[in-house]
Amino acid sequence: MVATALFQKRERPETCLSPEEYLRGFPCDDKDERLCQVNVTIEHPDCPHLYTRVGDHCLSIFFFGLVNWGEARAFCKMNGGDLLSFQDGFENFYEITRHLHENNITSDFWIGGAVRNKTWTWVDGNPIELGTPYWSLRTNPACNYRNQTISLKKSCNRYLQRPRKPTVGMCTALNFENFFYMSDEDCLAKRSPLCVAGKEPSERA
């Protein structure tokens, strides 16, 4: 049941909420969808300009810009950070994706992973963990059989969380249609940068 739900793509909503209307439960009227969530995605008193606080991190969720992966990383570095990576536990991953869901963000985002020397690697050189819980659910044409403790009959695991095989793209993204799970994508495709500030959030003077 869970696997089927993850595998299904979802539709982008036609309406959005401004920060004030989100708290009151009222939808936007004719406002630009990409302006509705600005105040809660690129501004926070604890973080540098263009960054907002999500958990223990300052993130720049620049959902109204569309660039390729290389340009996205250059944008992050120009603004004192780098593309986001998930290396401090799955709680951080869930906290960030929950923030995107709760603020009705429907953009796709570049994050800091790419293939180097045939290995999925973060921008700092550390290897990317493959599989659950980070990656999008993919069909498994080879059919990975699982051992059953109750029945002697083997069951086929037709879905796996992993990059596509063969790999479609050499860069990592969080896609709205895949519920912001990680996906291998063409590095030249246009997506929004998801940056993390170089230092942890602190009180601004």
Q: What are the structural domains, with CATH classification, of the chain?
A: 37-140+157-197 (3.10.100.10)
Nearest Cα neighbor of 61 from 121, 114, 112, 110 is: 110
Whole-number average pLDDT of the chain:
76
Which one is predicted more confidently, 58 or 44? 58
Say what the pLDDT of residue 157 is: 57
pLDDT > 80? residue 195: yes
Say what the pLDDT of residue 25 is: 43
Say what the pLDDT of residue 70 is: 97
- How far is it, in rounded angstroms, from Cα 203 to Cα 47? 8
Which of these ranges, 47-51, 119-123, 193-197, has the smallest mean pLDDT? 47-51
pLDDT > 50? residue 122: yes
pLDDT in tens, 20-37: 443 344 344 444 554 555
Say what the pLDDT of residue 55 is: 87
> Looking at residues 108-126, what average pLDDT do you find?
95
pTM for this entry: 0.71
| Pairing state between β 109-116 and 192-197 | parallel
149's tokens:
């403790």
Which residues on adjacent β-strands are paired with residue 157?
144
| Pairing state between β 57-61 and 52-54 | antiparallel
Which of these ranges, 58-67, 100-109, 156-165, has the smallest mean pLDDT? 156-165
Say what the pLDDT of residue 86 is: 92
Say what the pLDDT of residue 45 is: 81
Q: Are 186 and 131 in contact (CB under 8 A)?
A: no
pLDDT in tens, 134-186: 888 776 666 655 544 444 455 665 666 777 777 779 999 999 998 999 999 99
